[in-house]
Structure 1
Amino acid sequence: MTGEAPRRRGRPSRTEREQGPGARTRILEAARAEFAERGYDKTSVRGIAKVAGVDAALVHHYFGSKDEVFAAAIEVSFEPATVIPAVLAEGPERVGERLARYFFAVWENPATRAPMLAVIRSAVTHEAAAKALRTFVLRRLLERVAGDLDVPNPKFRAELAASHMIGIAFARYVIKVEPLASVDQEEIVALVAPTLQRYLTEA
């Protein structure tokens, strides 16, 4: 017996702590890259740690399980804390257009598109991916937008808006249906915005 107190599971060693505050950011970046490239099923905490240049214990320390790393990596793409005020700032008029433009901008940006592709591809077969999609597209974003607009049945409206946008994203970015896959983003926004506006604001 050495008399030393046992270490908490997942607690980083002193060497790992000395990775500095940038370690968490590196882990998130590595997670986004790994999930995008390998999908949910083939990505492991050990693999994420290797890409980030840290010990797997440090990943567990910051995020816990693989599911939690996955959820954190997706949240970085959506940034709901900054997006929702911007979408709602000008009131209910044209909220559908602002929401559509934001949503498709996430998909058009290669850095944020990659983890979103991983989410949609994995959501069909993995509950963790489906939960992440529900949490960050529906509950963290659309339900809050609909709720702040003070309309009847805000959750149902949010679900309709989510199904509309996710369906288009799947057709455009995952299975790449033409001409939807190659049409200009603004053309999609112009056609989708009135439908989202109706879902979110009409009594």
Structure 2
Amino acid sequence: MKTQPATARARNAEATRCAILEAARDRFAHDGYDQIGIREIAALAGVDSALISRYFGSKAELFERVLETSKKSDLLEGGADGLARRTAEHLVDEGGADKPLDDLLLLLNSAASPIAGDMVRRSINQRYNEPMANMIGGRDPLLRARLFGSVLMGLIISTKIHGDAFIKALPRDAMIARLTRLIEEAIAET
């Protein structure tokens, strides 16, 4: 009989953790790290604020966990060959759908925070820039990886702002060719 309540509590604890993480992701993305408090996150998650401390520790530890659980892009999985074209095709065909705007907002709205800024930069470097630099190799790979990320973020934001008007301004193949050249230039060795 005692194993049944323990199992139910474990499932509820996991559901509570997920609710807290989703509420935190939403609030950090839209309000930034410095402008949101634990109580607001708890209210959005429908839990007592003490549970956030119990499950995650501090607000900084919660933010770090949100960064760790952000979705990674699949673009790096195909290797360096054809990366620019794969990225261009993805942007045209999917509009950057695997990289929700909330993940970008999470990074952008907290990057200037004295507390969260270092976590944001570390996360970007560990999750995107360093793997990309290792994949493309050559001279100045970290710089080229950062240029790739900058171009990609700019294109995703433009697509979100302008929608189909931006990405459909040219026929599909022409837009893919143009974006491929732009991305290739960003990652090219000089």
* TM-score over 0.5 for the pair: yes
Residues 103 and 131 from structure 1, CA distance in 2 versus in 1: closer, same or farther, beyond 3 angstroms? farther
| 2:37 is the counterpart of 1:50 | no
| 2:187 is the counterpart of 1:200 | yes
1:128 Cα shift? 4.4
Match of 2:118 among 101, 107, 131: 131
Find the counterpart in structure 2 of residue 19 from structure 1: 12
Match of 1:87 among 54, 76, 83: 76
Residue-by-residue CA offset, 1:130-181 (whole Å, 9 max, x unaligned): 43543344431132022123322221211222233334445555xx4x6x88
SS of residue matched to 2:55: helix
Residues 132 and 194 from structure 1, CA distance in 2 versus in 1: closer, same or farther, beyond 3 angstroms? farther
How many residue pairs end up in the alignment?
Answer: 177
Is the contact between residue 151 and residue 201 of structure 1 (CA under 8 Å) also seen in structure 2? no
CA distance in 2, matches of 1:106, 1:24: 30
> Any stretches of 5+ residues in structure 1 without a counterpart?
1-15
- TM-score (norm: length of structure 2): 0.68
Find the counterpart in structure 1 of residue 143 from structure 2: 156
Match of 1:183 among 145, 166, 171: 166
Question: Counterpart amino acid of 2:108?
Answer: I
RMSD, aligned α-carbons: 3.6
> Any stretches of 5+ residues in structure 2 without a counterpart?
1-8
CA distance in 2, matches of 1:103, 1:127: 33
